[in-house]
Chain A
Amino acid sequence: DSGVTQTPKHLITATGQRVTLRCSPRSGDLSVYWYQQSLDQGLQFLIQYYNGEERAKGNILERFSAQQFPDLHSELNLSSLELGDSALYFCASSPLAGDADTQYFGPGTRLTVL
């Protein structure tokens, strides 16, 4: 158990819908990262927040957005969902924001878009 929690575990929805994925980092960690893992694409970095502010942006679509709240939990919002958005979405956290930081991954949310 990494100490990072993600809800829900599974999500099944239809194309065109909007969903929100939630992540609570390990106690004391200030950084939260979101990743998308598709079958043949490995781990794609989406976005990072550090202490409530956006710190780095990866290959995140405009239909996706995220935020980190004052209590440091984070939400990833996915809208106008397409079949290709079906994937595992992982949240990770680290103590600070440095590139040397170990990242601790949550169990993931499996999103299925029908």
Chain B
Amino acid sequence: GQQVMQIPQYQHVQEGEDFTTYCNSSTTLSNIQWYKQRPGGHPVFLIQLVKSGEVKKQKRLTFQFGEAKKNSSLHITATQTTDVGTYFCAGPRAGSYQLTFGKGTKLSVIP
């Protein structure tokens, strides 16, 4: 079945450093979504990418969708302690309404 892999699983950065998480799907995706889950919280929708090669920015966050629509990345510039949490990518399973989530990248920011 469809698999969505995320790397790295954990990332510890010094405050002010950049951070990137990568998402790879075993199948082509019609779209990809990114969610953030703060410690003790619930996943919160960040963004959706639909077009091949699409790049979207939200302040210090940059999201990319690969040309083949099988991979995506989230880059955070100059991390802050408020960026702490687990970042999940999710893609729809082909022919289904089901979203398949990656296992997430847990980001720790050292002040």
**Residues of chain A at the chain B interface (Cβ within 8 Å):** 2, 31, 33, 35, 41-43, 45, 48, 50, 55-56, 58, 90, 92, 97-100, 102-108
**A55 neighbours in B (Cβ, 8 Å):** 97
Query: In the complex the two chains form, what is the Cα distance from A104 to B35 in whole Å?
Result: 10
Known: A48-B98, A99-B98, A100-B30. 5 other contacts (CB 8 A): A33-B99, A45-B98, A45-B101, A99-B99, A100-B92
CB distance from B94 to the nearest CB of A (A): 9
Identify which of B44, B88, B98, B99 contacts A2 (C-beta below 8 A): B44
11 inter-chain pairs at a CB distance below 8 angstroms, sorted by A residue, are A33-B99, A45-B98, A45-B100, A45-B101, A48-B98, A99-B93, A100-B48, A102-B33, A105-B42, A105-B43, A107-B41
Whether the Cβ atoms of B88 and A99 lie closer than 8 Å is: no
Does B102 interact with chain A (Cβ within 8 Å)?
A: yes
Query: In the complex the two chains form, what is the Cα distance from A105 to B43 in whole Å?
Result: 6
Majority SS at the chain B contact face: loop
**Residues of chain B at the chain A interface (Cβ within 8 Å):** 30-31, 33, 35, 41-45, 48, 50, 88, 90, 92-93, 96-104
Query: In the complex the two chains form, what is the Cα distance from A43 to B96 in whole Å?
Result: 17
Whether the Cβ atoms of B48 and A42 lie closer than 8 Å is: no
Query: In the complex the two chains form, what is the Cα distance from A48 to B92 in whole Å?
Result: 13
CB distance from A47 to the nearest CB of B (A): 9
Query: In the complex the two chains form, what is the Cα distance from A43 to B31 in whole Å?
Result: 18
- Chain A residue nearest to B100 (CB atoms) is A45
**B43 neighbours in A (Cβ, 8 Å):** 43, 90, 92, 103, 105
- Chain B residue nearest to A100 (CB atoms) is B31
Whether the Cβ atoms of B101 and A42 lie closer than 8 Å is: yes
**B93 neighbours in A (Cβ, 8 Å):** 99
CB distance from A46 to the nearest CB of B (A): 10
